[in-house]
């Protein structure tokens, strides 16, 4: 098979790495692959950069339209596109892809769209937290609100096109089934990680290597922007840090972003690492901790949750989108935005003995290996690619 993948980024970010991981796994199985991205960070010769329109963001703001002005049309002239048996689109927003090009692809090729967020069924917001705060998008900044037009443009394509959809959680599948895209065929393939890389290292040894204390219970938080990442629940984490500031037996470790305000930085119960890209190092931090505090306000299914559980780390989170599907009964799922219930979850995890944490951690690991391994995700994509390519009823 010859598979062409389209996404925003190749090898950086959390969920942004999933398309590349799938492509690389398919390549290792002997298939021909190529990838087009808006932002390329790897040296992979099979990954090609779509040239960006430097005026894109200015034009999209002036005309209140994020569906136009990109230069993705160049893909149609490439040998990779012309030879492809199937196109696997992932995130096709963020300023590098024209909506009209997706429509054309569905007419010329077999297309699978792996949907990671809510953008395909909204006027532009990508998650429930952002959609709650969505504001009018006015043409020229003061004329009509263009959001209905943007949504109708997407709806027109869905009504006149045929393609397959892959979703990575039951939650997002349910959202799509209630939306303007519900006429397309959908497949559930769980979001997955490399369980060989993210594994359970011995806790005290990991702490020694990382320079972390062995005599404290460590609460881990991870987000791209660290303790200033509101979507990931940083405000709730900072509240917990202050609530436990007098408890010298607890250390909060925050991964990501830059250092936060003085009130947090000066707290001896907080250790901020900054952003960590090295996955092997991340696995050591997961293994060194007692649990992951991840009060996300809008993740479909956060990769950090899967990585942590694969390293034997239980989770405390809000009842948010697809996250409870991964946690199941292997952590604490608090009522959404309920700080009191979240505190109960933190207290519960802190009360676990070393043996209880080890048993729970092993169950977390077993769950991820069984349902969310990278190899399982790659195998299921290979089967789906073959099925769609050989389906005479798809375009």
Q: Each residue of 328-385: pLDDT tens digit?
A: 999 999 999 999 999 999 999 999 999 999 999 999 999 999 999 999 999 999 999 9
Statement to judge: residues 15 and 101 lie in one domain: yes
pLDDT at 394: 57
Give per-residue pLDDT as tens, 69-86: 999 999 999 999 999 999
Cβ–Cβ contacts within 10 Å for residue 369, how many?
Answer: 15
Statement to judge: residues 382 and 367 lie in one domain: no
pLDDT at 257: 86
Tell me the C-alpha distance between 9 and 90, whole Å: 10
The band of 262, judged by pLDDT with boundaries at 50, 70 and 90, is low
Contacts of 88 (CB under 8 A, 6+ apart): 3, 4, 5, 6, 19, 22, 111, 112, 113, 114, 381, 385
191 or 394, which is more confident? 191
Statement to judge: residues 6 and 123 lie in one domain: yes
Q: Is residue 198 part of a domain?
A: no
Contacts 24+ apart (CB under 8 A), 121-124: 121/154, 121/175, 121/176, 121/179, 121/180, 121/181, 122/151, 123/147, 123/148, 123/150, 123/151, 124/66, 124/93, 124/150
The band of 299, judged by pLDDT with boundaries at 50, 70 and 90, is confident
Q: Is residue 197 part of a domain?
A: no
Task: Give mean pLDDT, residues 60-66.
Answer: 91
Statement to judge: residues 362 and 380 lie in one domain: no
Statement to judge: residues 225 and 88 lie in one domain: no
The band of 305, judged by pLDDT with boundaries at 50, 70 and 90, is very high
Statement to judge: residues 183 and 233 lie in one domain: no
| pLDDT at 265 > cutoff 70 | no
Portion of the chain with pLDDT greater than 90, in percent: 85
Q: Is residue 46 part of a domain?
A: yes
Statement to judge: residues 124 and 264 lie in one domain: no
DSSP code of 109? S
Is there a contact between 113 and 165 (Cβ–Cβ < 8 Å)? yes
Q: Is residue 161 part of a domain?
A: yes
The band of 15, judged by pLDDT with boundaries at 50, 70 and 90, is confident
Quote the strand ranges of 230-281, DSSP E. Answer: 250-255, 270-274
DSSP code of 50? P
pLDDT at 395: 54
Give the chain's domain count: 2
Statement to judge: residues 352 and 214 lie in one domain: yes
Domain that holds residue 63: 2-192+374-389
15 or 128, which is more confident? 128
Q: Is residue 25 part of a domain?
A: yes
Tell me the C-alpha distance between 190 and 159, whole Å: 27
Q: Is residue 394 part of a domain?
A: no
Q: What values do phi and psi take at 345, rounded to 5?
A: -65, -40
CATH code assigned at 251: 3.40.50.2000
| pLDDT at 149 > cutoff 70 | yes
Q: Is residue 395 part of a domain?
A: no
Element (H, E) at 166: strand 164-167
**Torsional sign, CA 126, 259, 313, 342:** negative
Contacts of 186 (CB under 8 A, 6+ apart): 164, 165, 166, 167, 173, 176, 177
pLDDT at 189: 96
The band of 258, judged by pLDDT with boundaries at 50, 70 and 90, is confident
Task: Give mean pLDDT, residues 255-279.
Answer: 78
Tell me the C-alpha distance between 228 and 237, whole Å: 10
Helical segments of 228-278, H only: 234-243, 262-265
Q: Is residue 67 part of a domain?
A: yes
Portion of the chain with pLDDT greater than 70, in percent: 97
Contacts of 316 (CB under 8 A, 6+ apart): 291, 292, 293, 294, 295, 331, 332, 334, 342, 345, 346, 348, 349
Tell me the C-alpha distance between 264 and 244, whole Å: 12
Statement to judge: residues 188 and 324 lie in one domain: no
Q: What values do phi and psi take at 280, rounded to 5?
A: -65, -40
Average pLDDT, the chain: 93
Give per-residue pLDDT as tens, 214-226: 999 999 999 988 9
DSSP code of 52? P
DSSP track, 7-42: EEESS-SSGGGHHHHHHHHHHHTT-EEEEEEEE--S
pLDDT at 264: 53
The band of 156, judged by pLDDT with boundaries at 50, 70 and 90, is very high
| pLDDT at 2 > cutoff 60 | yes
Statement to judge: residues 365 and 254 lie in one domain: yes
Q: What values do phi and psi take at 273, rounded to 5?
A: -100, -20
Decide: helix, strand or coil at residue 267.
coil
Statement to judge: residues 329 and 282 lie in one domain: yes
Statement to judge: residues 180 and 47 lie in one domain: yes
pTM (two decimals): 0.92
Task: Give mean pLDDT, residues 145-153.
Answer: 94
pLDDT at 266: 65
Tell me the C-alpha distance between 35 and 87, whole Å: 10
């Amino acid at each position: 098979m010859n598979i062409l993948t389209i996404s925003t980024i190749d090898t950086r970010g959390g969920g942004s790495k999933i398309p590349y991981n799938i492509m690389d796994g398919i390549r290792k199985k002997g298939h021909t692959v190529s990838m087009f991205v808006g932002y390329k960070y790897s040296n992979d010769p099979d990954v090609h950069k779509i040239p960006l329109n430097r005026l894109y963001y200015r034009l999209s703001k002036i005309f209140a339209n994020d569906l136009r002005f990109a230069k993705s049309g160049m893909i149609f002239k490439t040998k990779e596109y012309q030879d492809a048996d199937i196109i696997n689109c992932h995130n096709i927003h963020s300023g590098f892809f024209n909506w009209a090009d997706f429509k054309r692809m569905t007419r010329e090729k077999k297309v699978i769209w792996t949907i990671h967020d809510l953008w395909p069924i909204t006027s532009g917001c990508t998650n429930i937290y952002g959609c709650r705060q969505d504001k009018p998008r006015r043409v020229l900044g003061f004329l009509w609100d263009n959001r209905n037009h943007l949504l109708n443009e997407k709806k027109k394509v869905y009504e006149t096109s045929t393609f397959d959809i892959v979703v990575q959680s039951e939650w997002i599948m349910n959202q799509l089934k209630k939306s303007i895209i519900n006429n397309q065929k959908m497949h559930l393939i769980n979001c997955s990680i490399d369980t060989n890389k993210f594994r359970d290292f011995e806790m005290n040894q990991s702490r020694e290597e990382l320079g972390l204390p062995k005599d404290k219970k460590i609460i881990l938080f991870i987000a791209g922007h660290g303790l200033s990442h509101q979507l990931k629940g940083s405000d709730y984490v900072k509240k917990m840090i202050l609530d436990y500031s007098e408890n010298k037996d607890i250390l909060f470790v925050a991964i990501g972003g830059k250092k936060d305000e003085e009130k947090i930085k000066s707290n001896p119960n907080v250790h901020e690492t900054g952003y960590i890209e090295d996955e092997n190092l991340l696995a050591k931090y997961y293994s060194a901790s007692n649990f992951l505090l991840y009060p996300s306000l809008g993740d479909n299914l956060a990769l950090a949750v899967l990585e942590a559980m694969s390293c034997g780390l239980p989770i405390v989170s809000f009842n948010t989108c697809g996250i409870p599907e991964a946690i199941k009964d292997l952590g604490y799922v608090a009522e959404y935005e309920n700080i009191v219930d979240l505190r109960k979850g933190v207290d519960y995890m802190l009360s676990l003995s070393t043996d209880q944490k080890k048993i729970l951690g092993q169950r977390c690991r077993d769950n991820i290996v069984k349902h969310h391994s990278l190899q399982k995700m790659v195998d299921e994509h290979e089967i789906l690619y073959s099925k769609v390519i050989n389906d005479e009823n798809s375009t």
